[in-house]
Amino acid sequence: MLSNSQVKHINALKIKKYRDEYKEFIAEGNTLVTDLTKSSYEIAGVYALSEWITGNLDVIGHKNIPVYEADPADMERITSLSSPSPVLAIVKIPAGMAAGLDSAGYGSPEQNIPGLFEELSVMLEGISDPGNMGTLLRIADWFGIRNVICSETCVELYNPKVVQASMGSVARVSVFYTDLSRFLENLKGRLPVYGTFLQGDSIYSIPLENKGIILIGSEAHGISDPLSGFVTGRLYIPSFGSTDNGKAESLNAAVATAVVIAEFRRRGL
């Protein structure tokens, strides 16, 4: 049985103020917690039903992770989900990930983001929906994108809904928060920047490179005018729907991202 202080601490981490204060976040579910225990993240503690602990002794024992046995009533008290999972973990936020890129990152971004000049990265502007953010991380993970660079207006990476929607991808994708205008200014002429627009060149016909940044705008407004000036390749995803009874005006950010990256990968880029 968990103590009241343990329950209070876990529930506090559902609020950003306390995640920032304690430099910790929560993760729930067997797959998510297992993925995090196999990653470079430091696990501060695992709270789980006895059967989960028994079935995962090899993982938690190998890393000497503190484990606290909970009963179903305990899991009800600490869960963020509609149906409690058998396990919840408190995870340490790495110092660099908590703070984002500092001012030194603007002049020499390659020192902060490994592989930036050799591969594709995704850049997100103003993604506010936690479910979309988590899905975008999952898409990046699926297509082998290591780095996601976010505007400071994007939803926080360690929001429980983002972590949950990422389905474990938060453990494998590096996420950075920074001022995108300043960041792109320092990359000008050094990397191609691709952006999705309702007017542009068809993604299926425009030449693409095997390195660069894929810029995705907000769900409501798309890519802002200040950032659109940095785009060197304006991509359009053609619609094949019938216009007789109207058609969808646009794709949401996650779907557009998946279509664009898939075309890069289809070409072997």
Rounded to two decimals, the pTM is 0.90
Tens-place pLDDT, residues 176-218: 999 999 999 999 999 999 999 988 999 999 999 999 999 999 9
| Average pLDDT, rounded, for the chain | 90
pLDDT at 77 over 90: yes
Buried b (16+ CB within 10 A) or exposed e, 199-215: ebeebeeeebeeebbbb
Predicted pLDDT at 111: 64
Q: What is the pLDDT of residue 72?
A: 96
What number does CATH give the domain 101-266? 3.40.1280.10
* pLDDT for residue 241 is more than 80: no
- Record the tokens describing residue 36, joined without a space: 């995090």
- The structural domains of the chain, with segments of one domain joined by +, span 4-93, 101-266
Residue 80 has pLDDT above 70, yes or no: yes
The rounded distance, in Å, linking the Cα atoms of 72 and 86 is 8
* pLDDT at residue 143, as a whole number: 98
How much of the chain is in helix, strand and coil states, percent to nearest 5? 40, 20, 40
- Which alpha helices (DSSP H) does 168-230 contain, by range? 180-185, 225-228
CB 215 within 8 Å of CB 235 = no
- 4-93: which CATH number, 3.40.50.720, 3.30.1330.30, 3.90.1150.10, 1.10.357.10? 3.30.1330.30
Residue 102: pLDDT band (50, 70, 90) is: very low
